[in-house]
Chains A and B, each alone.
Chain A
Amino acid sequence: AQSVSQHNHHVILSEAASLELGCNYSYGGTVNLFWYVQYPGQHLQLLLKYFSGDPLVKGIKGFEAEFIKSKFSFNLRKPSVQWSDTAEYFCAVTLNTGGFKTIFGAGTRLFVKA
């Protein structure tokens, strides 16, 4: 069965530290890849997405993610986190089969200490 794994459920960093959140998926076909973020008290919203082309995708607020097809990975990175990045981050994979199935990871709660 298809699945999405996020390796860390909780991450605590100090401001200015670098961030990398892991995401791996299990599906051999064509996929669209997403990172969504939920800031405290706000709706879940899109951070960045990959459909095709350059595997290094840049999103809002200085985030980027790299699609490595051979590793079935789509890790999220930010070189220097801020206190305002405290949020829960979800990796999601949509199977490009003409259907509607989107599979979400369990999420990673990031807490950035000021």
Chain B
Amino acid sequence: SQTIHQWPATLVQPVGSPLSLECTVEGTSNPNLYWYRQAAGRGLQLLFYSVGIGQISSEVPQNLSASRPQDRQFILSSKKLLLSDSGFYLCAWSVKGAPTDTQYFGPGTRLTVL
């Protein structure tokens, strides 16, 4: 069966520090991968999606970036965190060729920027 992992589970970082959140998927090949952010009282906002290694599309301009160095690895990064980057970050995957189908979510990372 497929599983999706995210780490760390929680993170507290000072403003201006770098960020690296990692997501890995097991049990499937060549998935579509997604990064979402959930701010308090708001829905999930799609940040990035990827259809393959090295292929990243950004939905929202911001100081975050994403990379996909391996088929089942998706990394969210920042060079300098802002206070507004605080939130709950979710990684998700869906079956290749079915981008409008069900997405499967990881456990999330709660990021607090102080």
Interface residues of A (CB under 8 A from B): 4, 6, 9, 32, 34, 36, 43-46, 49, 90, 92, 94-96, 98-107
Task: Pick from B44, B46, B59, B102 the residue with the most CB of A within 10 Å.
Answer: B44
Task: Pick from A4, A90, A92, A106 the residue with the most CB of B within 10 Å.
Answer: A106
Residues 13-66 of B at the A interface (beta carbon under 8 Å): 32, 34, 36, 41-46, 49, 57, 59
A44 touches B90 (CB 8 A): yes
A100 touches B32 (CB 8 A): yes
Interface residues of B (CB under 8 A from A): 4, 32, 34, 36, 41-46, 49, 57, 59, 90, 99-108
Known: A100-B57, A101-B59. A46 touches B43 (CB 8 A): no
Contact of B106 among A34, A43, A94, A103 (CB under 8 A): A43
- A residues near B34, Cβ cutoff 8 Å: 100
Known: A104-B44, A107-B43. A99 touches B102 (CB 8 A): no
Task: Give Cα distance in the complex from A58 to B100, angstroms.
Answer: 19
How many residue pairs link A and B with beta carbons under 8 A? The number is 52
A96 touches B100 (CB 8 A): yes
- B residues near A49, Cβ cutoff 8 Å: 102
Contact of B49 among A9, A46, A100 (CB under 8 A): A100
Q: Can you name 14 A-B residue pairings with CB atoms under 8 Å?
A: A32-B101, A36-B105, A45-B104, A46-B103, A92-B44, A94-B99, A95-B100, A100-B46, A100-B49, A101-B46, A101-B59, A104-B44, A104-B45, A106-B42
